[in-house]
Amino acid sequence: MEKGFDNFQKAKAEEERMEGTVKSCPFRTGFHIMPPVGWINDPNGLCQFNGIYHAYFQYSPLNVNGGGGYWGHCTSTDLLHWEYKDPVLTTDIPEDRSGVYSGSALVEDGRMYVFYTGNVKLAGDYDYIDAGRVSTQILVESEDGQHMSGKTKLLGMEDYPEEITQHVRDPKVWKEDGRYYMILGARARAWAEDGKRRDRGAALVYVSDDRKKWEFLRKIDSVKPFGYMWECPDLFELDGEKVLSFCPQGLEAEEERFQNIYQSGFSLLSRDADPEATFREWDMGFDFYAPQSFEAEDGRRILIGWAGMPDTAETYRNLSVKNGWQHCLTIPCELECREGRILRMPVRELFELEWEEVSAEKERYCWAEKTVKLDVRGIGGRQTRIRIGTEENGMTITAEGNKTELSFLDRNGKPAVCGGGRDRRVCRIEEAVENLLILVDSSIVELFVNGGEAVFTTRIYLENEEREIKLSECEKYKLEVI
């Protein structure tokens, strides 16, 4: 019998058992990748392979609260309509028995090479930092993106630099000048001046000539400590800049920065070798983490993130859980770098859909089961307000000057039910706010400020009858639905 057969059977049985419940959930998304059942986290193995887009993802079909165990799979021809396939990877060798963790795909000569981390957590009294954890980098190959070959171990604990703890994961692999490169997220052992342990996040780069034998090349880290662990690194060229994307854990919150538990951002290494110097957050909303990019066949650099966050407070809830699923991925976005700023806007395919223009009668529109796209222009820094939801239960987006705010709080500072415990996020850009693009796909709102200079991703759980959009002080806008 095929390895992992039982696991795949269990996933399939659960998907079938829950199909009706998940499909009739009012919070299910139209264009955003969501789990067929259970939990989804990081996007993995993003690529375009023989013309078809493949998105894999960290998937826990058997547990709505996560825990992993699988790489889920879906495909698309336009990055918006996704067809769900059977999971492709599960925990079936000793090296990945506690998790088939995140990784990437490299497409070359009609073959897909998938790199991921096999995670092992030993049972016992361990700290799982210096002891009790084994992180192995593994390769599988595929001719069709669905059927995977046997697993080949590439790197194990013995291959990481001395100071690296047992946290080493999330290989992103690319080819450059005839050689292969792999970047890994890591946690390095370090001590503060007072002698106290203070680990430091880092990325490790390996090089290979054959995708199988890898040699350590260098470590990328910051001059001063910048978080204790970096997850999901990604290194790519964008309009002549060298971009390092990564998720530092352990940054201290500042009033208008680093507002979530863990961060996710990018640095322009071509401008400064110290990643902290140019670090900018990818997203200012409540729900964004672990993004991954890939290059489409037409040369576009596309980024998808997880519209979720690990280890959030108990009070921070996703109301789809009662219907057996949790979290989704973001809308795929195109990246562009202009004068040292990265702009992130939904892929052009979104704008090519057949949207129907509607008018907000008395500045109010009910969108119930539709997806909404609202484009507000000519703001010129004037106060602009958009309410999504009802007076009693909703979210308010306010732009004024160079500041944008997204808030679930009412006048008394009480958070709305539809925010599931989320409160308020703000962001300032360099110039005045000129335009806002708001995409509302059932339970996810994505807000793009000034052509993607700042983005807010957040989940919102409104019942169909509460789905209203109300515009105040918006002079020029276009409201469309599909």
> Shortest approach of ligand FRU to residue 156 CB, angstroms?
16
Kindly identify the residues of this chain, within the stretch 292-321, that bind ligand FRU according to CB under 6 A.
310
Interaction between residue 232 and ligand FRU (CB under 6 A): yes
Q: Which is nearer to ligand FRU, 117 or 267 (CB)?
A: 117
How far apart are alpha carbons 308 and 249 in whole angstroms? 15
Task: Choose which of 7, 29, 48, 58 interacts with ligand FRU (CB under 6 A).
Answer: 58
Question: Strand, coil or helix: what is 270?
Answer: coil
Least distance (Å) from ligand FRU to the CB of residue 102?
3
Nearest distance, CB of residue 60 and ligand FRU, angstroms: 9
Does 199 sit near ligand FRU (CB under 6 A)? no
Closest CA relative to residue 406, chosen from 419, 418, 395: 395
- Number of residues lying near ligand FRU (CB under 6 A): 14
Distances in Å between the Cα of 110 and the Cα atoms of 46, 144, 154 are: 15, 9, 22
Shortest separation between residue 467's beta carbon and ligand FRU, angstroms: 30
Cβ–Cβ < 8 Å for 166, 128: yes
Taken as a whole, the chain contains a residue count of 482
Q: Is the dihedral of CA 8, 14, 17, 23 positive or negative?
A: negative
**Could you say whether residue 53 binds ligand FRU (CB under 6 A)?**
no
* 215-220 sheet: strands from edge to edge: 164-176, 179-188, 200-208, 215-220
Residue 165 makes contact with ligand FRU by CB under 6 A:
no
Nearer CB in complex with ligand FRU: 31/57: 57
**Binding of ligand FRU at residue 170 (CB under 6 A)?**
yes
Binding to ligand FRU by CB under 6 A, coded x per residue (else -) over 28-47, reads -------------xx-----
Q: Which residues pair with 106 in a beta bridge?
A: 113
Minimum Å gap between C-beta 68 and ligand FRU is 5
Residue 231 within binding range of ligand FRU, rule CB under 6 A: yes
From the CB of 400, what's the least distance to ligand FRU, in Å? 34
Q: Are residues 22 and 308 in contact, defined by beta-carbon separation less than 8 angstroms?
A: no
Catalytic residue among 42, 96, 199, 283: 42
Does residue 450 touch ligand FRU according to CB under 6 A? no
- The answer to whether 33 touches 105, Cβ cutoff 8 Å, is no
- Cα 267 off chain centre by: 17
Nearest distance from C-beta of residue 129 to ligand FRU, angstroms: 14
Q: Which residues contact 186 (CB under 8 A, 6 or more apart)?
A: 160, 164, 165, 167, 168, 169, 201, 202, 203, 204, 219, 229, 230
Between 231 and 441, whose beta carbon lies closer to ligand FRU?
231
User: Is 135 in contact with 186 (CB distance < 8 Å)?
Assistant: no
Q: Residue 330 is encoded by which pair of tokens?
A: 């973001």
Q: Applying CB under 6 A, which of residues 68, 87, 248, 389 lies at the interface with ligand FRU?
A: 68
Using the rule CB under 6 A, is 72 a contact of ligand FRU?
A: no
Q: Does 441 bind ligand FRU (CB under 6 A)?
A: no
Site string for ligand FRU, 89-128 (x = CB under 6 A): ------------xx--------------x-----------
61 closest CA partner among 4, 8, 14: 14
Query: If binding is defined by CB under 6 A, does position 169 make contact with ligand FRU?
Result: yes
410: annotated active-site residue: no
Tell me how far CA of residue 162 lies from CA of 149, 158, 180, 225, in angstroms.
32, 9, 23, 18
Residues that bind ligand FRU (CB under 6 A): 41-42, 58, 68, 101-102, 117, 169-170, 231-232, 289-290, 310
Active site residue ranges:
42
